[in-house]
Structure 1
Amino acid sequence: MKPQVLLVFLTRFEESTAMLKGIAQYERSHRPWAAFLDDEARAEHDPQWLRSKKWHGVISRHTTPALLQSCAELKIPLVDLNDTPLNPGVPKIRPDNTGIGHQGAEHFMERGFRNFGFCGFSTDAWACERRDGFVEALRLGGHGCEVFDVEYPGDLTPFWDAKQTTALAAWLRRLPKPAGIMACVDMRALQVIAAAQTAGLLVPEEISVIGANNDTIRCELAYPPLSSVAPNAFQSGYHAAETLALLMSGGKKDVVMDRRIEPLGVVTRQSSDILAIDDKNVAAALSYIREHACHGISVEEVLKHAYASRSQLEKKFRRHLGRSPQAEIRRVQVAKIRQLLFETDFPLKKIAELTGFEHVEYMCVVFKRITGEAPGSYRKKVQTKSGN
C-alpha cells in the first residue's frame, strides 16, 4: 500500500509551487506516495479535517499550533517548511536567511556602493537573520549600515502601507547617496521603492533596491522591476520529502532537525542594475543603456543622451567600469537573456526579439562568447538546479 501523505500548502504563493515541484521530484525518483494536496491549507485550522483520514505523514508550509497538536496526538510524522522558530521534535527545513543577507550585501559591494541600508521587521526572526547577515557581510567588507526596522502588524493594509511610505521617505532623504538598500522581503522592498519616489529620489541612480524571496510577479510588476535574492524553494521541498520518507520508515535518528537551504542567488533587475558612479556623463549613459539596451540600440544613440563625445565616453567607461559602452550594452542584454532562460520557457527566437537581436544565431554567438555556454545548455543547468 502506498503511504498516504498530506501536503498542506497555499498554492497561490510562488514559493509553495516550487516546493511542491521538489516534493514531486523526490517522489518520482523514490517510492511513490498517494499524496493529497490541501491547497487551501484547511488542515492548519481544522483538526477534524485532518482526522477524517489515516495519514502516514504530513508536509506543511503553513504549520500552526493546532496542526502540530493534531499530528502529535495522532502520531503522524510532520515536516515543517514554515520559516519560524523550531517546534520540539518536529524537523524544520527553511531558507538560510543569513546567507540571503550575505548575498544582498555582496551584490551591492560588487557594484561599488559605499552607503548601505537595511529595511525589515524587528519582530520576525527570519527578517532579523537576513538583516544580521547583510550587516555582517558589510562589516567584513569594511562598511557600516543604517537600519530601519519596524514591528510588522501581521497584515498589509492600505493605511499601514501609506504610513510606512511616509516614514521610509523621511529615512531615505537622510541617507548619503547613492545608497544600496536591502529589504527583508519583496513586499518591503516595494515600499522602499514607493518611498524613494515619494521623496523625489531616483531608483536605482540614487537609491538602489533589492528584496528577497524573488516573488516573480511582484518583482516584475514593480517599477522599476525589483531585484531579489532567490531562495531555493525546490530544494526545500525535495529535502522535506526526503525527511518525511525517513520518518515514515522509522529513521528519526538520521533526520536533521533544522536544515537550512542555501539561496540560489540574486536575480538582477533594474532596481539595482547600476554601478555607484558619480560621473554625470557615465551615469546618464548607464541609465539610457539600462532602459534601452534590449531595444537594439547603438553607441551613437547612447552618446546623444550622455552629452559626451565618443572618445570622452570611451575613456570614462574604461576608467570607471573597465569596459566600453558597447560592452556594457552587451552585458545588459546578456543579463536579460539569462533571466528569460531561467524564468520562462520562451523559444530562443522569442528571447532574441525581446533582447534586441535581429537574428537568433547572432544572439547565441554573443551569449556563448560572454558566458562560455550556449543558451540551451545554460537554461538546462539553471532550470534543473531550481526545479523549473
Structure 2
Amino acid sequence: MKQIGLKLRFQDGYDMAVAGGVVQYARTKGDWQVRGQGPWFFSLDQEALSECDALIARIEDDQEALFCASLGIPVVDIAGSSSLKLFSQVRNDDYQTGVSAGTYLKKLGSKNVAWCGVDQVHWARERFVGFASSLSADPSEIASFSRPLAWWRQLYEPSVELDAWLSDLEKPISLFCCNDLSAMKVELACQRLSIKIPSHVMVLGVDNETLLCELASPSISSIQPDCKTIGYEASAMLDAMLSSKQSGLHIRRIAPAPVTERESTRLVLCEDEQVANALRLIKTRATSGLTASDVAFEASICRRALEMRFRKYRGRTIWQEISDEKLDQSCLLLSHSNATIAQISEQCGFGSVHRFYSLFKRAYDVTPNQFRAKKQRF
C-alpha cells in the first residue's frame, strides 16, 4: 500500500477542494492510502510523514521547500510560491487569472484600473503581469499597492498607507486584488474612508472563498481557481513519478473558472449615459429573451443613434453585447450545473439549441458539450 501524504493546511476552501481532487484520483488506485491533517484522512503527523512514499504539498516558502526536499521522496507542489525550483508543480494558471480579471473589468467599461498585490511571491507577480497584458498596459503605469502576505492577514488592522493610497486613486476605478484576503482588507478601508463600492471603486478578488466573499459588505466578486482539477492532476503527476513514467521537473498550469460576480462589481461604467444605461439593462435581462430592439426601446434616443454610440464606446453592436452576456452565463451553467444543453440554451435565452451551438462554437472554438466535458471532467 502506497502512503500518499497531503501537506495542506486545510484552513481554506482552496485546500479542501484540492483534497477533493486528490481523493477522486485515489479512488482509481487500489493501492493508495491518503494521509492528511484532520479527521477525514489517515494521520499525517511527523512520524507518518517520514513513512510516506510521495507527497502533495502546498509549499509557501523556501524553508518549507527545503524541508520537503529533505524527505527524499517524490513531491508535487500545488502553490508555486517558493523561489527554489526543487519540485514539479501543478497549480493555478496565475497569468491567465490576471488576463481574466482584466478582460472582465474591461467589459464593465473600466478605464482607470489599479492593483493590490503580495510582495515577493511568484503567483501574485504572474497575476499582475497577466492583468497588465490584458489591458495592453505597462505594469509600471498601473497604480499598485503591495505588501507581504502576513501584512494582509492583519485583516482588521487599519493602515494609514493603504488609506492614503485608496484616497489618492482617480475614481471611478476598478481594483484587481491578488486574492480575496486583500480584497476584504481593501473593502474595510473603503468603509472607513466612505468610498462607495462599486460606484467609486469596483473590487475583484481571487480564490472565491465563499464565506469571506459573502460576509463582506458589499459581497466580493472573485475568480475561482479550478482547485479540484489541480488536486486530480497533481495526483496523476505523482502517480507517473512513482511508476517511473515521468522524470525531471514539470509545471502544469490549470486555467481558472470564470468570475463569480457579486455586489462589488455590479456596475457598468461608461462616459456615455445612454450606453451605460443600456449595458445595465443587458446585464440584468440578457438571458430573458432581450433583443437589440428592446434595448433601443428603453432608451431615450433612436436605435440607430444608440448603435452608433455602442460602436464608438464599446467597439461592438448591441446584439454582440447581449450575445456575450448570454454566453458568459451559459459557461457558468455548463461548468457548475447538471442542466441539459437544451435547458441551458433555454435558460440563457438563445431561442434554439442549434443557435446556441453555433454561437458557442464561434466564440470558444469548442461545442458546449466539449466545454462541459473539459470543465466537469473532475
Instruction: Indicate whether the TM-score tops 0.5.
Output: yes
* Secondary structure of residue in 2 paired with 1:278: coil
1:144 deviation in Å? 1.8
Q: Which residue in the other structure is 1:241 paired with?
A: 235
- Report the identity percentage: 24
- Does residue 126 (structure 1) correspond to residue 123 (structure 2)? The answer is yes
1:309 deviation in Å? 4.6
2:76 corresponds to which letter in structure 1?
V
- Does residue 368 (structure 1) correspond to residue 360 (structure 2)? The answer is no
1:70 deviation in Å? 7.9
CA separation in 2, counterparts of 1:170 and 1:154? 16
Preserved CA contact (<8 Å) 2:103 2:134: yes
| Count of paired positions | 373
Q: Which runs of 5+ in 1 are unaligned?
A: none
Trace 1:370-385 onto structure 2 (pairs within 5 A).
370-372=359-361, 377-385=367-375
Preserved CA contact (<8 Å) 1:79 1:240: yes
Q: Structure 1 residues 193 and 306, CA, compared in 2 at 3 Å: closer, same or farther?
A: farther
Q: Which residue in the other structure is 2:33 paired with?
A: 35
Q: Structure 1 residues 340 and 39, CA, compared in 2 at 3 Å: closer, same or farther?
A: farther
Preserved CA contact (<8 Å) 2:36 2:43: no
What's the CA shift string for 1:11-41, capped at 9, x where partnerless? 5644335434554565567x64322242529
1:177 deviation in Å? 3.8
CA separation in 2, counterparts of 1:183 and 1:364? 38
Trace 1:125-144 onto structure 2 (pairs within 5 A).
125-135=122-132, 138=135, 144=141
- Does residue 19 (structure 1) correspond to residue 18 (structure 2)? The answer is yes
- Does residue 263 (structure 1) correspond to residue 255 (structure 2)? The answer is yes
* Secondary structure of residue in 2 paired with 1:372: helix
What's the CA shift string for 1:243-274, capped at 9, x where partnerless? 4234434678x2316x2515346436365577
Q: Which residue in the other structure is 1:171 paired with?
A: 165
Preserved CA contact (<8 Å) 2:4 2:32: yes
Preserved CA contact (<8 Å) 2:132 2:139: no
- Does residue 338 (structure 1) correspond to residue 331 (structure 2)? The answer is yes
- Does residue 328 (structure 1) correspond to residue 321 (structure 2)? The answer is yes
CA separation in 1, counterparts of 2:266 and 2:226? 22
CA separation in 1, counterparts of 2:293 and 2:363? 29
Preserved CA contact (<8 Å) 1:22 1:236: yes
Preserved CA contact (<8 Å) 1:106 1:137: yes
CA separation in 1, counterparts of 2:116 and 2:329? 27
2:357 corresponds to which letter in structure 1?
K
- Does residue 180 (structure 1) correspond to residue 174 (structure 2)? The answer is yes
CA separation in 1, counterparts of 2:212 and 2:343? 23
Q: Structure 1 residues 346 and 225, CA, compared in 2 at 3 Å: closer, same or farther?
A: farther
| Selected match of 1:147 from 122, 144, 147 | 144
Most deviating of 178-187 and 319-328: 319-328
Most deviating of 280-289 and 368-377: 368-377
CA separation in 1, counterparts of 2:139 and 2:161? 28
2:94 corresponds to which letter in structure 1?
N
Q: Structure 1 residues 295 and 12, CA, compared in 2 at 3 Å: closer, same or farther?
A: farther
CA separation in 1, counterparts of 2:69 and 2:84? 12
* Secondary structure of residue in 2 paired with 1:82: coil
2:374 corresponds to which letter in structure 1?
T
| Selected match of 1:81 from 78, 82, 87 | 78
CA separation in 1, counterparts of 2:294 and 2:200? 24
Preserved CA contact (<8 Å) 2:195 2:201: no
What's the CA shift string for 1:226-247, capped at 9, x where partnerless? 5544444345334422442344
| Selected match of 1:319 from 312, 318, 330 | 312
| Selected match of 1:94 from 91, 96, 99 | 91
Tell me the TM-score normalized by structure 1: 0.72
Most deviating of 221-230 and 5-14: 221-230
CA separation in 2, counterparts of 1:44 and 1:81? 20
Tell me the TM-score normalized by structure 2: 0.74
Q: Which residue in the other structure is 1:288 paired with?
A: 281
CA separation in 2, counterparts of 1:251 and 1:352? 43
CA separation in 1, counterparts of 2:186 and 2:353? 37
CA separation in 2, counterparts of 1:17 and 1:237? 10
Preserved CA contact (<8 Å) 1:60 1:79: yes
Q: Which residue in the other structure is 1:50 paired with?
A: 49
Q: Structure 1 residues 193 and 330, CA, compared in 2 at 3 Å: closer, same or farther?
A: farther
Q: Which residue in the other structure is 2:206 paired with?
A: 212
Preserved CA contact (<8 Å) 1:47 1:67: no
1:280 deviation in Å? 1.2
Preserved CA contact (<8 Å) 1:18 1:234: yes
Preserved CA contact (<8 Å) 2:152 2:185: no
1:332 deviation in Å? 2.1
CA separation in 1, counterparts of 2:301 and 2:236? 59
1:378 deviation in Å? 1.6
CA separation in 2, counterparts of 1:250 and 1:170? 55
CA separation in 2, counterparts of 1:187 and 1:130? 15
